[in-house]
Amino acid sequence: MKFGIIGAGNGGHAFAAYLGLKGHEVYWYDIDSDVVHALNEQGGVYVNGKLNGFAPIKHATDHIQEVIEQANIIMVVAPANAHRVIAKNCSPHLKEKQMIVLNPGATGGALEFYQELKNNHCTADVTIAETQSLLFACRLESPGSVSIYGIKENLPMAAFPNERTESAYRILAPIFTEWVKGENVLEVSLGNLNAMLHPAPSLCSLTKIDQKQEFLHYLDGITASVANFIEKMDEERINIGKAYGLDLPSSKQLLREFYGVEGETIDELTRNNQAYQTIAGAQTVSNRYFAEDIPMGLIPMSQLAKAAGVQTPTIDSIIHIVSSILDDDFSSSSRTLESMGLENKSVEHILKLIEQGESSQVMNG
C-alpha cells in the first residue's frame, strides 16, 4: 500500500515509523524544506519506545502534489487548524478513489475537509475519514527521530458520508489493527478527548505557563479539582451526543479503552497512564492546547449543541475565559456550523447528511 503523510511533526513521524516498519511505501510532505532535506538524507525514521528500529521512507518533499500523485491513502497528520488550508492545497491534485484520513479530525474535521474541497471545486471521488484521536502518544526528538510512549487501542474511525465507513474500514483495519469502526463521523468527533483533557488543565496552570515553570501536563495539571471540572465538561459533551441519538462513552471510558488503565476518576486514570508520565505542560499561552483545542474542539462542540438546543455552560465558560486571556474570540479561526456545511440545518437534516452525504455530491464527478 502506498501512503502519503502530510505533516512531519510528532504524529507524522510516528505514522511514518509505524507504516515503514510494516513494509508500506511512505511518501511524505512537509512545508519545512530543511526537515524534508534531513528526512531524504537519512532515508527514514528512527523510532524508540513502543516501536523500535529504523523505518525507511520512499521520498519526502515540500511539494504536496508529489505526495498526492503517489499515494493510495493520504494521512493528514497536522494540527486541525491546518485542515482547511491542506484541503485547499490538495483539491486540484486529488484522484479518483483515493482516501484521505484525518489523524485526528478534532471536532467536525471530515465535514469541514469535505466542505473545503467542495468550495475549491474538487471533482475527484475521494473518501474522507477521520479518527477520534491521534493513534500515538509521541514526541519528536529531531527530524528523523521519534519516541512513541503509547499506542492507543480500540481507536474509533469513521468516514463521510457514513455509507462509506464499512468499505474504508475494510481497507484500513488490516493495517491499523488498533482501529475500530465508529458509528459515524459525528460520534467520532464528539469523542474528541483532547478537547476535554487539554484546555482546562492548561487554564488552571496559567501562572506556571506565564512564569515559564516546567510542569507535567497530566500529572501536575490534572488534580482532583481540575478533574471535577473536566467531568462537568464531559457531561455536557455526552448530552450533545444524546441530542443527536448517540450514546457517547465518557472520557474515563475512553482512557480505559485506549490505554487499558485503571482508575475511578480522571485524575487517577491520567496519573496511572504510563503514556502520560513525561508529557510536558504548555510553555506559552499560544500553545496548541488553547490555539487548537478551543477553536477546533470546544467551539464546534458548542455550536453543535446550540443547533440541537443543548446547554453547555461549562464548555462555554472555558471558551470565553481563554478568549479573554488571549484577546481573541477565535471568530476568524474557528470550525463552525458554516465551515462544516451544517448551518441552518435541523438535527434530522444533519444526521441525514452525515449518513448519506449531499444528494448531488460535487466529488462524485
**Active-site hit among 13, 83, 198, 217:** 198
Q: How far apart are CA 198 and CA 259, in angstroms?
A: 17
Cα angle at 169 between 151 and 117, to 5 degrees?
A: 100
**Separation in Å, CA 1 to CA 60, 170, 244, 290, 291:** 17, 14, 36, 36, 34
Concerning whether 63 is annotated as a catalytic residue, the answer is: no
Concerning whether 293 is annotated as a catalytic residue, the answer is: yes
**What is the 3 state secondary structure string of the chain?**
CEEEEECCCHHHHHHHHHHHHCCCEEEEECCCHHHHHHHHHHCEEEEEECCCEEEECCEEECCHHHHHHHCCEEEECCCHHHHHHHHHHHCCCCCCCCEEEECCCCCCHHHHHHHHHHHCCCCCCCEEEEECCCCEEEEEEECCEEEEEEECCCEEEEEECHHHHHHHHHHHCCCCCCEEECCCHHHHHHCCHHHHHCHHHHHHCHHHHHCCCCCECCCCCCCHHHHHHHHHHHHHHHHHHHHCCCCCCCHHHHHHHHHCCCCCCHHHHHHCCHHHCCCECCCCCCCHHHHCCHHHHHHHHHHHHHHCCCCCHHHHHHHHHHHHHHCCCCCCCCCCCCCCCCCCCCHHHHHHHHHHCCCCCHHHC
What angle in degrees, to the nearest 10, is found between the helix axes of 251-259 and 224-243?
100
Cα angle at 313 between 194 and 269, to 5 degrees?
A: 35
**Active-site hit among 30, 234, 267, 293:** 293
Residues identified as active-site: 198, 293
